[in-house]
């Protein structure tokens, strides 16, 4: 799951706009834009390709919490899948999501979550591992502390996995089970009662090098948070490979915007943008289904691909010939005459202005 922003910086007459992060556009020196944010859920695979299978998309309003909306999307998808006794699906999230809120929102759901953590966070172990207090008082709620940026505080891992990869070299994955962060009180200072303890598995991924084509820099450590149904153990080899494949969704966002024109129309109302977004996803799904049925129209400088392995851009280039053979279920348009238009002497008036909303701190 990931989010992408439809930038509408100058659309003052468009309601329900908010301020969101944007990697390439800036406003007043900050990487933020005003627009609509959409959260996508897509099925990913382990093949080295730029195809994904989007299954859900929802617009996140400025007053909504992206973590709550994400949990609702996951629950809705699990209800449509209806898997009983099969493999437990794994949902991967970037560092922009809160692992505590996601885990609380999906408590009891038959799924696994894998969330990237920001560097410098602190986690705590089982309070039973601490030395008993010398004085009489309440028992501690937090055990030994782990600082992600301080290796001297790392205890022995509960599980470890080491493997060799063609792109990343030697990969070492360590896991610490039964860890929890300190949960902040979001209900206000006046609320009383103990804060919940959200327990999960802390995972550290270290690689020897970055694959070819990446920026030449030293690889950084990757911290992840995993949680699954009771009785399941994390598959460390699967988890680190699954997070690497999460970046394939970025290729889909770029293709939707640059080739299919997802954010090109200048919609005024967000409901129009919602309908257009689903139409674009339907067109992308048709391209994915047609990739094994079209003949490649390769330009002299293009790379050669095997049959059925064409990229979305190459399928988009050649799909027009297939559409001619398939035909269309739509009937030819019928003339309806000339529209009367606006009555003479009536003015439409000035459209209402809607400022972009800022989230409260």
Do 116 and 60 reside in the same domain of the chain? Answer: no
Residue 189, domain member (yes or no): no
Residue 61 has a pLDDT of: 94
Same domain, 260 and 210: no
Range of the domain at 99: 95-184+194-230
Q: Do 120 and 79 share a structural domain?
A: no
Whether 344 is covered by a domain: the verdict is no
170 domain-assigned: yes
State the Cα–Cα distance between residues 251 and 49, nearest whole angstrom. 9
Do 48 and 104 belong to one domain?
no
Q: Where in the chain does DSSP place strands (E)?
A: 2-7, 18-21, 32-43, 53-60, 90-93, 112-116, 122-124, 145-147, 159-165, 169-179, 200-207, 222-227
Whether 341 maps to a domain, the answer reads no
Domain co-membership, 72 together with 42: yes
Looking at the fold, whether 117 and 164 belong to one and the same domain comes out as: yes
Distances (CA, A) of 207 to 103, 164, 165, 204: 27, 9, 9, 10
How many structural domains is the chain composed of? 2
62 within 8 A of 16, measured Cβ to Cβ:
yes
Clarify whether residues 289 and 162 are in a common domain.
no
The answer to the question of residue 283 being in a domain is: yes
Quick check: is 206 in a domain?
yes
Domain boundary among 204, 230, 256: 230
pLDDT tens digit sequence for 278-312? 999 999 999 999 988 888 888 888 888 887 788 99
Asked whether residue 58 falls in the same domain as residue 100, the answer is no
pLDDT tens, residue order, the chain (361 aa): 999 999 999 999 999 999 998 888 777 778 889 999 999 999 999 888 889 999 999 999 999 999 999 999 999 999 998 766 678 999 999 998 999 999 999 999 999 999 999 888 999 988 766 666 555 666 777 888 899 989 999 999 999 999 999 889 999 999 999 999 988 765 544 455 667 889 999 999 999 988 876 666 788 899 999 999 988 899 999 999 999 999 899 999 999 999 999 999 999 999 999 999 999 999 999 999 998 888 888 888 888 888 778 899 999 998 988 888 888 888 888 888 888 888 888 888 889 999 998 875 4
Taking the C-alpha atoms of residue 8 and residue 194, their distance in angstroms, rounded to an integer, is 43
Cβ-contact 143, 176 below 8 angstroms = no
Are 75 and 7 contained in the same domain?
yes
The reply to whether 219 falls in a domain is: yes
Residues 77 and 113 in one domain: no
Please tell me whether residues 113 and 200 are part of one structural domain.
Answer: yes
Residue 174 counted as domain residue: yes
Output the DSSP codes for 63-101: TS-HHHHHHHHHHHHHHHH--SSSPPPEEEE-TTS-HHH
pLDDT at 196: 82
Do 162 and 260 have their domain in common?
no
């Amino acid at each position: 799951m990931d989010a992408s922003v439809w930038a509408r910086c100058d659309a003052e007459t468009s309601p329900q706009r908010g301020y969101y992060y944007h990697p390439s556009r800036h406003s007043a020196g900050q990487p933020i834009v005003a627009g609509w944010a959409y959260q996508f859920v897509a099925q990913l695979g382990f093949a080295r390709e730029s195809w994904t299978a989007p299954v859900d998309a929802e617009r996140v309003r400025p007053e909504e919490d992206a973590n709550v909306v994400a949990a609702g999307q996951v629950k809705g998808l699990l209800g449509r899948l209806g898997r009983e006794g099969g493999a437990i699906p794994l949902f991967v999230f970037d560092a922009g999501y809160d692992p505590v809120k996601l885990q609380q929102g999906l408590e009891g759901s038959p799924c696994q979550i894998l969330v990237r953590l920001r560097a410098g966070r602190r986690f705590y172990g089982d309070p039973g591992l601490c030395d008993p207090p010398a004085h009489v008082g309440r028992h501690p709620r937090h055990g030994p502390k782990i600082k992600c940026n301080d290796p001297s505080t790392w205890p022995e891992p509960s599980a470890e996995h080491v493997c060799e990869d063609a792109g990343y070299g030697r990969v070492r994955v360590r896991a610490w089970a039964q860890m929890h962060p300190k949960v902040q009180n979001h209900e206000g200072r006046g609320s009383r009662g103990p804060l919940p303890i959200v327990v999960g598995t802390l995972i550290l991924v270290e690689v020897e090098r970055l694959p070819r084509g990446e920026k030449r820099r030293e690889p950084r450590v990757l911290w992840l948070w995993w949680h699954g149904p009771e009785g399941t153990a994390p598959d460390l080899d699967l988890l680190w490979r699954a997070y690497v494949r999460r970046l394939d969704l970025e290729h889909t966002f770029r293709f939707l915007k640059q080739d299919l024109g997802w954010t090109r129309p200048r919609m005024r109302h967000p409901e129009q943008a919602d309908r257009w977004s689903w139409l674009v996803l339907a067109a992308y799904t048709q391209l994915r289904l047609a990739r094994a049925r079209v003949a490649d129209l390769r330009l002299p400088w293009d790379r050669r691909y095997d049959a059925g392995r064409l990229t979305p851009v190459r399928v988009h280039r050649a799909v027009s010939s297939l559409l001619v053979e398939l035909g269309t279920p739509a009937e030819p348009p019928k003339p309806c005459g000339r529209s009367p238009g606006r009555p003479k002497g009536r003015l439409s008036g000035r459209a209402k202005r809607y400022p972009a909303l800022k989230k409260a701190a």
